[in-house]
């Protein structure tokens, strides 16, 4: 039986990153019904499609941010979406997260069309971290615990889950600090912890380390690897950093001009790209 928490009606609050971030803190988890697929993941398990985009196009006026895009995201994938600025990467994430509606095409979750599922029930299975962190004007601990308290999680469960995230994101010594006094890197760690605490099945990240120093970026990367490999969280990260994609991902999609030019296993993608445009991007010949 699916367990639904209280939902945040984003449409009544307007469209902005702060509202998007806050809404995610309210949303809970529900168990998927698996759809069989013949592919296999790197663990040798049968790969099961979680999210699928079929011939998706998104227009902003006359501009096609995403065009005729096909993509399948499997459970437990760590997918890196790379490409130059303006390729449509962030728009792709926003479409998956119901922050943007496609102009045409189909999105499916567990084989069911998005149009047949309540949008908030889709988003309750998804967490999203933006490039610029958003924190509440309270302590680091309270920031991370916020969604748990909203759903009246027992105190002992809250302490365990928040304590775990404080350790994983190396925030124990900062837990009593006002979050608004933190550095950008520290605040981004709090933002990630606040999303991970409610155990999203799908984690979307839009260049989460682009503005961070190597120390904070490495802590976040380690937490993402742990979330994927230890907890089975499906992750999609948008990044300009092909070295980050190499470190983290088992699948890579290269986007250019709103289209997925190449998609596949990370090792093959970087060592033997099949498309000349992909090779040009990897070699630094495409400016981004």
pLDDT digits (tens, 9 = 90+) for 228-285: 999 999 999 999 899 999 999 999 999 999 999 999 999 999 999 999 999 999 998 8
161's CB contacts (< 8 A; 6+ apart) are: 148, 153, 197
Q: Can you tell me the distance from the alpha carbon of 269 to that of 250, in angstroms, rounded to the nearest whole number? A: 10
pLDDT at 47: 80
pLDDT at 11: 38
Give the mean model confidence (pLDDT) for residues 191-216.
97
45's CB contacts (< 8 A; 6+ apart) are: 76
pLDDT at 184: 97
Collapsing DSSP to helix, strand or coil, 8 comes out as coil
pLDDT at 285: 82
CA 85 to chain centre: 18
Give the mean model confidence (pLDDT) for residues 190-207.
97
Instruction: Report which secondary-structure segment, H or E, holds 203.
Output: strand 202-206
**Over the stretch 5-52, which tens digit does the pLDDT of each residue have?**
333 443 333 444 444 554 444 443 443 444 444 555 555 567 899 999
**Over the stretch 122-142, which tens digit does the pLDDT of each residue have?**
988 999 999 999 999 999 999
**Over the stretch 50-81, which tens digit does the pLDDT of each residue have?**
999 999 999 999 999 999 999 999 999 999 99
Collapsing DSSP to helix, strand or coil, 149 comes out as helix
pLDDT at residue 4 is higher than 90: no
**The 104-109 sheet, strands edge to edge:** 63-74, 49-60, 104-109, 112-113
Give the mean model confidence (pLDDT) for residues 95-115.
96
Cα torsion through 188, 193, 196, 198, rounded to 10: -130
Domain ranges of the chain: 10-282
What is 10-282's CATH topology?
A: Rossmann fold (3.40.50)
CA 206 to chain centre: 7
**Over the stretch 276-287, which tens digit does the pLDDT of each residue have?**
999 999 998 875
pLDDT at residue 147 is higher than 50: yes
Q: What is the pTM of this model?
A: 0.84
pLDDT at 120: 85
């Amino acid at each position: 039986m699916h367990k639904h928490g209280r939902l945040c009606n984003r449409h009544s609050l307007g469209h902005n990153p702060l509202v998007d971030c806050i809404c995610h803190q309210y949303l809970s988890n529900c168990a998927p019904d698996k759809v069989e697929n013949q592919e296999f993941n790197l663990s040798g398990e049968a790969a099961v499609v979680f999210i699928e985009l079929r011939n998706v196009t998104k227009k902003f006026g006359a501009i096609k941010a995403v065009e005729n895009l096909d993509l399948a995201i499997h459970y437990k994938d760590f997918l890196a979406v790379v490409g130059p600025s303006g390729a449509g990467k962030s728009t792709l994430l926003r479409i998956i997260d119901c922050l943007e509606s496609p102009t045409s095409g189909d999105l499916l979750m567990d084989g069911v069309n998005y149009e047949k599922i309540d949008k908030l029930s889709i988003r309750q299975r998804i967490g999203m971290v933006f490039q610029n962190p958003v924190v509440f004007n309270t302590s680091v601990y309270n920031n991370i615990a916020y969604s748990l308290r909203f759903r009246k999680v027992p105190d002992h469960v809250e302490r365990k889950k928040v304590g775990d995230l404080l350790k994983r994101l190396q925030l124990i010594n900062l837990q009593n600090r006002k979050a608004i006094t933190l550095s950008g890197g520290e605040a981004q760690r709090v933002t990630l912890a606040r999303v991970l605490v409610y155990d999203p099945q799908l984690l979307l990240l839009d260049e989460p380390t682009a503005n961070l120093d190597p120390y904070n970026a490495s802590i976040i990367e380690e937490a993402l690897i742990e979330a994927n490999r230890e907890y089975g969280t499906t992750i999609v990260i948008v990044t300009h950093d092909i070295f980050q994609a190499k470190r983290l991902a088992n699948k890579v999609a290269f986007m250019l001009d709103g289209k997925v030019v190449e998609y596949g296993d990370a090792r093959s993608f970087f060592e033997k790209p099949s498309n000349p445009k992909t090779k040009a991007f990897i070699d630094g010949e495409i400016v981004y």
